[in-house]
Amino acid sequence: MSGLGGLNKTTGGIVIAAVQSQLFRVDTPLDLAKATQHVCDLVRRAKRQYPAVDLVLFPEYCIHGLSMSTDPSIICTMDGPEVTAFRQVCAEEKVWGVFSIMEKNTIEPDAMPWNVGISIDDGGIVVDYYRKMHPWVPVEPWYPGNQGLSVFTGPGGVKMSLIICHDGMFPEMAREAAYLGAEVLLRTAGYTSPIRQAWEVTNRSNALTNLMYTVSVALAGADSTWRSMGETMFVDPEGNILERGDGTVDHVVACEIRPEEVRRRRREWGVENNLFQLGHRGYVAVKGGAGDCLYTYMTDLAAGRYAQAEDKEVKVKDGSVCGFALPNSEYKRDA
């Protein structure tokens, strides 16, 4: 039920095209400009290959590559040429787009950049802005997202949420998106091949346990150091893989999404309607079910005292193993 891989769209459905864009080595502003142009050209290609497409999804690091460089000359701003180019191509092709940038941090002069995902509508307007909450430590130097997770109304009125790469390894992220009403969880990544099995496990479990679609895409190809896996994956609300990509560079994988498949299950299911049942435990035995929080890690995290049983034994607690200096910045929430 993928609309013949996104070639067809039925009433109430939308088509999403995920692009396994090329992994580039990006060291200079010229490299950044070339990568941005490449991504814009891929938006045009996706629209030609799949005329019914409503949204084009690009991987994390689609214009920055995996160097983890924090060189200010290649760090973006929301009013810079990269975001401007993305807005223009979405308006030109009349299609939604989801893109990745590393953005200048405005909290303090020496703070690390943010890893940001932006969603742009078919008129070229930025409708959602998300800062990655869980950087892939100790490999990534990005400042942890400080605005929380958001849900936005995408094409066709479908409720969507965007998470980035390592975010998807935390079941709390998918549950938060579903709790806020997301029917489709978008996940963009720069993951390399060793993560392939965990990628599938989490994409499928996030879908099933929250009765939602998950749509995930990673970079493809290799630079002088890294090889990314591609591995686009569309998963339905029961955890079944509808469409799957491979490691082919710039391959466009499309699929029809039918939001009513989410809505019916959340309204009508009894068995495994876990999103509802988390807050209504044992409703067969007690009126309305139990709604208290007996999860110690939740209450400890909310109180600022989170500490796992092995907390004092954890050996890697900073980025020095990957060559990063010890941080000087304190974490600050965004006002």
Positions marked catalytic: 60, 132, 165
The DSSP H or E segment spanning 126 is strand 126-131
Residue type for 227, please?
A: R
Are the C-beta atoms of residues 42 and 19 closer than 8 Å to each other?
Answer: yes
Q: What angle do CA 15, 167, 65 make, to 5 degrees?
A: 75
> Phi and psi for 160 in degrees, rounded to 5?
-130, 155
Q: For residue 201, give the 3-state DSSP assignment.
A: helix
Distance CA 115, CA 103 (A): 6
Instruction: Tell me the two tokens of residue 278.
Output: 């988390």
Distance CA 58, CA 42 (A): 9
277 alpha-carbon distance from chain centroid? 26
Are the C-beta atoms of residues 98 and 39 closer than 8 Å to each other?
Answer: no
- Among left, alpha and beta (phi > 0; psi -120 to 50; other), residue 15 is beta
